Amino acid sequence: MLFHFRDKFPLLNPFWDKYLEYQQRLELPAKTVLLEEGKVSGQYIFIEKGCVRLFFNNDGNDKTVQFFFENEGLTSFESFVNNAPSAFTIETIEPSVVYLLPKQYVTQLMDELSHEPDFLKMMMQLSSLRQTHYINEFVSFIRDTPEERYQKLLTDRPHIVQRVPQHYFASYLGVSTVHLSRIKSKLAKGKLHF
Amino acid sequence: MLFHFRDKFPLLNPFWDKYLEYQQRLELPAKTVLLEEGKVSGQYIFIEKGCVRLFFNNDGNDKTVQFFFENEGLTSFESFVNNAPSAFTIETIEPSVVYLLPKQYVTQLMDELSHEPDFLKMMMQLSSLRQTHYINEFVSFIRDTPEERYQKLLTDRPHIVQRVPQHYFASYLGVSTVHLSRIKSKLAKGKLHF
DNA sequence: CCCTGACGATAACATATGTTATCGAGTTCA
DNA sequence: TGAACTCGATAACATATGTTATCGTCAGGG
């Protein structure tokens, strides 16, 4: 659903509501591919239940870039905007319920909204948030050790550690699965003062 | 100058021109601080000549996040938009000539422009570019080795390697200065088939 | 013209991390 | 229920990388 945007700028609500009917609701098993690397992104994805990951393939072993959970929306942004082949695959991690809104309606909706003054503000706000997110990911790599990144993941976004298989977020943290295992056992030992 | 944006959407040119007079031209020596970490960003910076870097301090040794050269504009985006203390310092690397446009005029300009239909397109395009840039930086860390990142810097943005002191882009690449030196000498040896 | 500081190369050593292989616990499915 | 598969822990070894220290070159300022 477009609930992702609902109520952030109440004046825009009528627009979201108008497009609800064009969405397709899907119940998907785990490991279902929603967008394949190399294909052009043709829809906006909203997650009602479950979680998905964005990853790319690197000589056989894949590297996860981002995770999405309930009430979050996503698409391969660059592919979507530029009609270019996606650099990433999108795949469910858990059995999930998602809503898909085909690109033509997204475009149409954007055109309608472009006349609304609040829309620009919303887009600026959203793009500032996204940008900050990715800058922080990047900065974390030049500032923190993998161990620190793991600990920040634990405190800042524990749901990832709890719900996502470890080998998926190992690549996200930039380490091998073996080393992530080492980090965990080292931290576990550190806690054992009794 | 706002030449950064000029001619990208010709219909918007009159707006840029109108604000040219509010800019302050400065000739600065190397290592001049333009924005200090912890202070709120109060101006948009445009580089006419020279180059600057964006960095943050990490227990005494600083980490460079990004470089800017002639005809590029910058600000500490998050600080500027949210009126929040900047996480980064901005400093000249070479003796430089810059133009500063105070925040009040930027805000005023944005308000005027928000009524122009082309402006939204331009902002979307710019934000898509920025986002892609930072995603690529991030992805490079989980896909490439430091050696590969150095080689890509050499081929994709050779001006950085040529004009920027090595210890600045070492931290940008996520390695120590010593290791960057090792990488260079290793690559130099590789070339010596004669 | 010398002194100093900025910059970069290199060595030696310690630590972090990747790779490969093996094992075991759960889950899924026929 | 048994076979196949997914997931994660661990060991052993090789390599990558950080840290500290030393040295040489070069440019700028007195």
- Dump pLDDT digits (tens) for A133-190: 999 999 999 999 999 999 999 999 999 999 999 999 999 999 999 999 999 999 998 7
Ranking A20-34, B7-21, B122-136 by mean pLDDT, the lowest is B7-21
pLDDT of residue B193: 47
pLDDT of residue B191: 64
CB atoms under 10 Å from CB of A10, counted, come to 9
Any domain includes A123: no
B105 and B194, same structural domain? no
Percent of chain A with pLDDT over 70: 96
Percent of chain A with pLDDT over 90: 69
CATH code of the domain covering residue A103: 2.60.120.10
Considering only CB atoms, which chain B residues are within 8 Å of A82?
A: 128
Residue A156 main-chain phi, psi, to 5 deg: -85, -35
B39 and B128, same structural domain? yes
Any domain includes A78: yes
- Residue A32 CA and nucleotide C7 C1' are separated, in Å, by 53
Q: Which of A36, A180, A76, A66 is nearest to B138 (CA)?
A: A66
Are B25 and B99 in contact by the 8 Å Cβ rule? The answer is: yes
B102 against A12, higher pLDDT: B102
Any domain includes A169: no
Give the count of domains, chain B: 2
Containing structural domain, residue A31: 2-115
The minimum CA-CA distance between B194 and chain A, rounded to whole Å, is 32
Any domain includes A79: yes
Distance separating alpha carbons of residues A113 and B112, to the nearest angstrom: 18
pLDDT at position A3 over 70: no
Q: What is the residue-averaged pLDDT of chain B?
A: 91
Footprint of strand D on the protein (CB under 7 A): A 165-167, 177-178, 180-182, 184-185; B 145-147, 174-176, 178-179, 182-183
DSSP state of A52: E
Tally of helices (H runs) and strands (E runs) in chain A: 8, 8
B121 and B82, same structural domain? yes
Q: Which of A57, A44, A55, A49 is nearest to A94 (CA)?
A: A49
Mean pLDDT confidence for B146-156:
98
Last residue of a domain, one of B105, B123, B143: B143
Per-residue burial over A106-131, b = 16 or more CB atoms within 10 Å of its CB, e = otherwise: beebeeebeeeeebbebbbeebbebb
The minimum CA-CA distance between A176 and chain B, rounded to whole Å, is 10
B34 and B103, same structural domain? yes
B97 and B10, same structural domain? yes
- Residue A63 CA and nucleotide C24 C1' are separated, in Å, by 26
CB contact under 8 A, A143 and B81: no
Distance separating alpha carbons of residues B109 and B116, to the nearest angstrom: 11
B84 and B152, same structural domain? no
Considering only CB atoms, which chain A residues are within 8 Å of B117?
A: 114-115
pLDDT of residue A192: 53
CB contact under 8 A, B77 and A128: yes
Ranking A4-13, A107-116, B55-64 by mean pLDDT, the lowest is A4-13
CA-to-CA separations, B8 to A36, A111, A119, A179, B125, in angstroms, rounded: 33, 20, 22, 47, 10
Distance separating alpha carbons of residues B173 and B183, to the nearest angstrom: 12
CB contact under 8 A, B77 and A143: no
Cα of A113 vs its chain's centroid, Å: 24
pLDDT at position A63 over 50: yes
A123 against B30, higher pLDDT: B30
- Residue B31 CA and nucleotide D28 C1' are separated, in Å, by 15
- For residue A15, what pLDDT band results from cuts at 50, 70 and 90? confident
B148 and B114, same structural domain? no
B173 and B134, same structural domain? no
pLDDT of residue A26: 94
Mean pLDDT confidence for A73-81:
89
B191 and B116, same structural domain? no
Numbered residues of chain A with Cβ closer than 8 Å to any chain B Cβ: 56, 58, 63, 65, 77-78, 81-82, 114-115, 117, 119-120, 123-124, 127-128, 130-132, 134-135, 137-139, 141-143, 171-172, 174
CB under 8 Å to B138, separation ≥6 — which residues?
A65, A134, A137, A138, A141
Any domain includes A152: no
Instruction: Name the range with the highest mean pLDDT among A6-20, A160-174, B72-86.
Output: A160-174
pLDDT at position B177 over 90: yes
Q: Residue A144 belongs to what H/E stretch?
A: none
CB pairs under 8 A between A and B: 89
Mean pLDDT confidence for A75-86:
90
Any domain includes A92: yes
pLDDT at position A4 over 80: no
CA-to-CA separations, A24 to A3, A4, A75, B62, B81, in angstroms, rounded: 14, 16, 15, 49, 36
- Residue B178 CA and nucleotide C14 C1' are separated, in Å, by 15
B5 against A105, higher pLDDT: A105
Strands of the sheet with B43-49, listed across from one edge = B24-28, B96-102, B43-49, B73-74
pLDDT at position B118 over 50: yes
B116 and B86, same structural domain? yes
B183 and B100, same structural domain? no
pLDDT of residue A174: 98
Any domain includes A52: yes
Are A78 and A87 in contact by the 8 Å Cβ rule? The answer is: yes
